[in-house]
């Protein structure tokens, strides 16, 4: 069978995406990557390989939203080049456990980046997200923070994680939340609560089902990533 060139499909998205939400450009290559990781028959090795490719794209896009300042350098030809340099320092914070899978992608493009961790789980007494563990850089309040979690369903864990960061002195506008797949409900919940942070997502899915699972989604990211 000969190959045919087709236009990439558009993502399912709410009629109005919050203004602080940014998505990767829709390309046939990106859709092919998502098709692989959504496929329930994809092996664990392939799931890791192809999800890592998407994560690197997301991290690069996240870095595009950091401020820059003018910077001049001299090239090997002796000519001055007027460019830019990053302003300020960054760190990553992963929401355990699935967010840890995104740390390698961040380290591949940001040398020696400091990374913190936050563990949030459902409180059985209140049914609300509860902080169980956090380990953050001591100077996190002076850094731009890339908050990492691959799936955004209802937004409860991510909203709690942002609350924790702000309690440690991180300004809302210095937080960039990076994720692979988001639901419209989760985006609306998060952006209504924190309109000044930025969200970088790879794909906005159709929505949530009655069990609050993202549809069509890709299943449990952590299970597919870490379970042999």
Q: What is the pLDDT of residue 5?
A: 43
1.10.2020.10, 3.40.80.10, 3.40.50.2020, 3.40.50.300: CATH of 21-70+86-227:
3.40.50.2020
219 phi/psi in degrees, rounded to 5: 90, -160
Strands (E) in 37-112, as ranges, are: 68-74, 80-86, 89-96
Q: What is the pLDDT of residue 46?
A: 97
Angle at 199 between CA 217 and CA 65, to 5 degrees: 135
Which two tokens mark 205? Answer: 């899915």
* 179 burial via Cβ count (<10 Å: 0-12, 13-18, 19+): buried
Q: What is the pLDDT along the chain (228 residues), one digit of tens a residue?
A: 444 444 444 454 445 789 999 999 999 999 999 999 999 999 999 999 999 999 999 999 999 999 999 999 999 999 999 999 988 899 999 999 889 999 999 999 888 899 999 999 877 667 678 898 999 999 999 999 999 999 999 999 999 999 999 999 999 999 999 999 999 999 999 999 999 999 999 999 999 999 889 999 999 998 899 886
Select from 38, 50, 43 the least CA-distant residue to 11.
Answer: 38
Please give the model's pTM, rounded to 2 decimal places: 0.89
Which two tokens mark 69? Answer: 């300042």
83 phi/psi in degrees, rounded to 5: -125, -145
Q: What is the pLDDT of residue 1?
A: 46
Q: What is the pLDDT of residue 112?
A: 84
Angle at which helix 156-167 crosses helix 184-193, to 10 degrees, equals 20
Using DSSP, state whether 87 is helix, strand or coil: coil
152 phi/psi in degrees, rounded to 5: -120, 105
Angle at 37 between CA 199 and CA 58, to 5 degrees: 25
Q: What is the pLDDT of residue 124?
A: 65
């Amino acid at each position: 069978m000969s190959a045919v060139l087709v236009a990439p499909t558009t993502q399912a998205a709410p009629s109005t995406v919050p203004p602080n939400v940014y998505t990767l450009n829709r390309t046939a290559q990106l859709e092919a990557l998502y098709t692989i990781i959504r496929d329930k028959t994809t092996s664990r090795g392939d799931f890791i390989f192809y999800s890592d490719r998407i994560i690197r794209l997301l991290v690069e896009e996240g870095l595009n939203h950091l401020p820059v300042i003018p910077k001049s350098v001299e090239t090997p030809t002796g000519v001055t080049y007027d460019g830019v340099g990053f302003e300020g320092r960054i760190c990553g914070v992963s929401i355990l456990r699935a967010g840890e899978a995104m740390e390698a992608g961040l380290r591949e493009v940001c040398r020696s980046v400091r990374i913190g961790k936050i563990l949030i789980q459902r409180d059985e007494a209140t049914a609300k997200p509860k902080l169980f563990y956090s380990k953050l850089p001591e100077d996190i309040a002076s850094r731009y923070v890339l908050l990492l979690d691959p799936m955004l369903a209802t937004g409860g864990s991510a909203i709690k994680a942002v609350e924790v960061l702000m309690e440690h002195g991180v300004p809302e506008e210095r937080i960039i939340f990076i994720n692979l797949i988001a639901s419209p409900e989760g985006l609306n919940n998060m952006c209504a609560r924190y309109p000044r942070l930025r969200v970088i997502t790879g794909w906005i899915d159709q929505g949530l089902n009655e069990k609050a699972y993202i549809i069509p989604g890709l299943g449990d990211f952590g299970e597919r990533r870490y379970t042999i």
